[in-house]
């Protein structure tokens, strides 16, 4: 018999993820802050709830897919939160990208109530969520991971159990570091190419297929060449994610110079109003720094 | 007409600051989270209170000297907080070093209840606090600043009104940005000198007379030469202050590349257990970067 599922957070990512669970035969209790968000899920057979607590009631596995650390703390531990509706033995799976330290604290708090927790942040964006091909990086007990793995398989393709609670968030942080520092490299390279009088499309072609090849070059590099900044992924999400990495480095007591610099570039991007456009805009921040005064 | 004064936060800085106010004859109502922290104050004649609310209740001016942004928010807005006790027309003076953004928000919230606020972060450390020789950077209305100035003068020597609410905190942040990058510059320069086979002591001498001259080259530079990292200003506190700067920059969408890098170097010192050393210990991070130890 399939576990009963709660799903909280029905935005760009949460909605298609929840839909994929329904398509695979799971019965869902859902809650989204905006009532309209629940409508398509209800049409597909889900039960709409009035709070996270209500969505959690009677469920075996409860997913959360909300934006910030504070949102997760609110939804899971706050008033009318998941902890109020869940029973000992239930599993709470947070799939957002939040602070590893806060994740461990939330798991500890849930454990006090006999509730299990997994952190399972994802990579692959809205497209990956819709097509069920997300990468999922999981932290928590192995036996709990095993129980939730069949549900993860409805939402993702590359599913890796990284380690204990918090490990999923650390792996996601690593993902963002590699991806966003690569993005910085691309932005500087294309700005450098243009400043040298080159056609950035030719440079893109030259770099593809060589040692500098990466998904980031392929997808975001293309947007830089075309100066097409329709998201993709909204820069404000990367801006949020990369600060999480720095906060963790502060606590750990380690230097991450590249990450720190890229965070400043994202600060500037947000400061000039680019939060809702694609992160490939970073190239314009670099170009602005070295503007030629005619 | 005597002014009743509240004082919340009686740690390393708060205690001597509050004692200086008592010595000048102000009646004080004090609150510290740890009950023992109030003992030296009550011995000097202060009234011990059970909450920030109680300390603020009869006060014309209430000072706050706690560690971080969340602590100030808790003390002012939390249960049994200053907001619950302070009277309309009273003044709240936060002398902690916290976020300018949070400060502006707190000032607006207090104003809704008719309470004035100043932000007056300090520099000068424990020594400055004990000797009444702190430097103060004050933000808030001019007429409110004037009312509190006589009390500031019991705690500090250099007192500058820099602007509106939040300006004090922003100025303190600027102080940290300049100081941090200057220490970093000196650390990098000395490391570069050594690698070039040049005595950094001679380099320092040469630089003292010109455009690269600064208090930091003078003082921190000497500490780097001697490898004498007794504080001074501790790495741990420096890391905290710079974290506030970087969080504010992030919140406001401001790029501070240099400060961001120095913050990482301070992280490294904390991670290697050197948080109690003077900031000049930053030179060790650059040395390690270049020597792989």
Exposure string (b/e) for A218-230, b if CB count within 10 Å is 16 or more? Answer: eebbebbbeeebe
Exposure string (b/e) for A35-67, b if CB count within 10 Å is 16 or more? Answer: eebbeebeeeebbbbebbbbbbbebbbbbbbbb
Q: What percent of chain B has pLDDT over 70?
A: 99
Please give the model's pTM, rounded to 2 decimal places: 0.88
The CATH code belonging to domain B5-163 is: 3.40.50.720
**pLDDT(A98) > 50:** yes
Q: Nearest C-alpha of chain B: how many angstroms from A166?
A: 20
| Pairwise CA distance, residues B171 & B163, whole Å | 9
Q: According to the model, what pLDDT value does residue A294 have?
A: 39
> Taking Cα atoms as reference points, which of B255, B261, B99 lies closest to residue A249?
B261
Instruction: Report how many Cβ contacts below 8 Å link chain A to chain B.
Output: 64
Asked whether the beta carbons of A257 and A178 are under 8 A apart, the reply is: no
Q: According to the model, what pLDDT value does residue B138 have?
A: 98
Q: Nearest C-alpha of chain A: how many angstroms from B262?
A: 9
Q: How many residues does chain B have?
A: 293
The torsion region of residue B163 among left (phi > 0), alpha (psi -120 to 50) and beta comes to left
For residue A265, list its beta bridge partners. none
The angle formed by the CA atoms of residues A103, A104 and A108, to the nearest 5 degrees, is 120
Count of beta carbons in the 10 Å neighbourhood of residue A168: 30
Residues of A in contact with B246 (CB under 8 A): 246
Residue tagged active-site, from B172, B234, B240, B293: B172
Please name the residue of chain B whose CA is at the shortest distance from the CA of residue A267. B253
B63-111 tens-digit pLDDT: 999 999 999 999 999 999 999 999 999 999 999 999 999 999 999 999 9
Are the Cβ atoms of A261 and B261 closer than 8 angstroms?
Answer: yes
B7-24 tens-digit pLDDT: 999 999 999 999 999 999
Q: According to the model, what pLDDT value does residue B186 have?
A: 97
Are the Cβ atoms of A243 and B250 closer than 8 angstroms?
Answer: yes
| Pairwise CA distance, residues A94 & A92, whole Å | 7
Tell me if chain B has a CB within 8 Å of the CB of A252. yes
Q: What ipTM was assigned to the predicted interfaces of this complex? A: 0.83
Interface probe for A, chosen from B180, B241, B250 (most Cβ of A below 10 Å), is: B250
**pLDDT(A293) > 50:** no
| Catalytic residue flag (residue B234) | no
Residues of A in contact with B256 (CB under 8 A): 264, 267
Q: What is the mean pLDDT of chain A?
A: 95
Q: Nearest C-alpha of chain B: how many angstroms from A268?
A: 5
Are the Cβ atoms of A254 and B257 closer than 8 angstroms?
Answer: no
Residues of A in contact with B255 (CB under 8 A): 264-265, 267-268, 271, 285
Residues of B in contact with A257 (CB under 8 A): 261, 264
Name the band, by pLDDT with cuts 50, 70 and 90, for residue B47.
Answer: very high
B111-160 tens-digit pLDDT: 999 999 999 999 988 999 999 999 999 999 999 999 999 999 999 999 99
Name the band, by pLDDT with cuts 50, 70 and 90, for residue B2.
Answer: confident
Placement of tokens 């018999």 in the chain: A1
B188-221 tens-digit pLDDT: 999 999 999 999 999 999 999 889 999 999 999 9
A199-232 tens-digit pLDDT: 999 999 999 988 999 989 999 999 999 999 999 8
**pLDDT(A45) > 90:** yes
Higher pLDDT, A34 or A155: A155
**pLDDT(B292) > 90:** no
> What mean pLDDT do residues B243-262 have?
96
> Taking Cα atoms as reference points, which of B70, B139, B124, B98 lies closest to residue B243?
B98
Q: According to the model, what pLDDT value does residue B150 have?
A: 98
Name the band, by pLDDT with cuts 50, 70 and 90, for residue B293.
Answer: very low
Give the 3-state secondary structure of residue B28.
strand
What residue spans define the domains of chain B?
5-163, 170-291
List, in order of start, the domains of chain A with CATH numbers: 5-164 (3.40.50.720), 170-289 (1.10.1040.10)
**pLDDT(A239) > 50:** yes
Placement of tokens 């049409």 in the chain: A43
Instruction: Specify the DSSP class assigned to residue A58.
Output: T
Which tokens sit at B205? 């001498």
The CATH code belonging to domain B170-291 is: 1.10.1040.10
**pLDDT(B1) > 60:** no
Instruction: Specify the DSSP class assigned to residue B61.
Output: E
Tell me if chain B has a CB within 8 Å of the CB of A281. no
For residue B64, list its beta bridge partners. B8, B94
| Phi/psi of residue B269, nearest 5 degrees | -65, -40
Give the 3-state secondary structure of residue A91.
strand
């Amino acid at each position: 018999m399939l576990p009963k599922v709660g799903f909280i957070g029905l935005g760009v990512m949460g909605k298609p993820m929840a839909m994929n669970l329904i398509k695979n035969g799971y019965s869902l209790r859902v809650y989204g802050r905006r009532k309209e968000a629940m409508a398509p899920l209800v049409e597909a057979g889900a039960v709409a709830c009035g709070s996270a607590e209500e969505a959690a009631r009677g469920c075996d596995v409860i997913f959360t897919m909300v934006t910030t650390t504070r949102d997760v703390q609110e939804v899971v531990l706050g008033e009318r939160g998941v902890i109020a509706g869940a029973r000992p033995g239930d599993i709470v799976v947070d799939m957002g990208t939040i602070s590893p330290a806060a994740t461990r604290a939330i798991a500890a708090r849930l454990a006090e109530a006999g509730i299990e927790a997994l952190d399972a942040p994802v990579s692959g964006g809205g497209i990956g969520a819709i097509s069920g091909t997300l990468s999922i990086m999981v932290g928590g007990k192995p036996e709990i991971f095993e129980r939730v793995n069949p549900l993860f398989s409805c939402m993702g393709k590359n599913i890796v159990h990284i380690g204990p609670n918090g490990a999923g968030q650390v792996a996601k942080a690593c993902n963002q570091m590699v991806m966003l520092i690569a993005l910085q490299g691309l932005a500087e390279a294309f700005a450098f190419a243009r400043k040298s009088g080159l056609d950035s499309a030719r440079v893109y072609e030259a770099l593809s297929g060589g040692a500098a090849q990466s998904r980031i070059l392929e997808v975001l590099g293309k947007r830089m060449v075309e100066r097409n900044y329709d998201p993709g992924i909204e820069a404000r999400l990367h801006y949020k994610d990369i600060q999480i990495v720095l906060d963790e480095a502060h606590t750990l007591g380690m230097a991450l110079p590249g990450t720190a610099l890229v965070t400043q570039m994202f600060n500037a991007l947000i400061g000039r109003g680019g939060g809702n456009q694609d992160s490939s805009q970073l190239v314009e921040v670099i170009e602005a720094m070295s503007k030629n005064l005619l | 007409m005597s002014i009743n004064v509240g004082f919340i936060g009686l740690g390393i800085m708060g205690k001597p600051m509050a004692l200086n106010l008592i010595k000048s004859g102000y009646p004080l109502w004090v609150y510290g989270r740890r009950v023992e922290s109030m003992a030296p104050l009550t011995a000097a004649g202060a009234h011990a209170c059970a909450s920030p609310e109680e300390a603020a209740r009869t006060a014309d001016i209430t000072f706050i000297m706690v560690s971080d942004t969340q602590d100030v928010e808790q003390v002012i807005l939390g249960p049994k907080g200053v907001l619950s006790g302070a009277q309309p027309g009273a003044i709240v003076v936060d002398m902690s070093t916290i976020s300018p953004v949070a400060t502006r928000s707190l000032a607006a919230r207090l104003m809704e209840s008719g309470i004035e606020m100043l932000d007056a972060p300090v520099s000068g450390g424990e020594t400055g606090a004990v000797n009444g020789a702190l430097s103060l950077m004050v933000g808030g209305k001019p007429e409110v600043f004037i009312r509190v100035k006589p009390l500031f003068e019991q705690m500090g020597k250099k007192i500058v009104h820099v602007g509106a609410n939040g300006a004090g905190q922003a100025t303190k942040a600027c102080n940290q940005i300049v100081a941090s990058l200057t220490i970093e510059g000196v650390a990098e320069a000395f490391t570069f000198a050594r690698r070039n086979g040049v005595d950094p002591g001679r380099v320092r001498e040469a630089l003292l007379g010109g455009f690269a001259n600064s208090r930091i080259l003078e003082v921190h530079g000497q500490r780097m030469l001697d490898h004498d990292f007794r504080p001074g200003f501790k790495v741990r506190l420096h890391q905290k202050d710079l974290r506030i700067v970087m969080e504010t920059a992030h919140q406001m969408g401001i790029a501070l590349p240099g400060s961001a890098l120095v913050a990482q170097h301070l992280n490294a010192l904390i991670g290697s257990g050197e948080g109690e050393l003077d900031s000049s210990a930053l030179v060790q991070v650059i040395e390690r970067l270049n020597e792989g130890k």
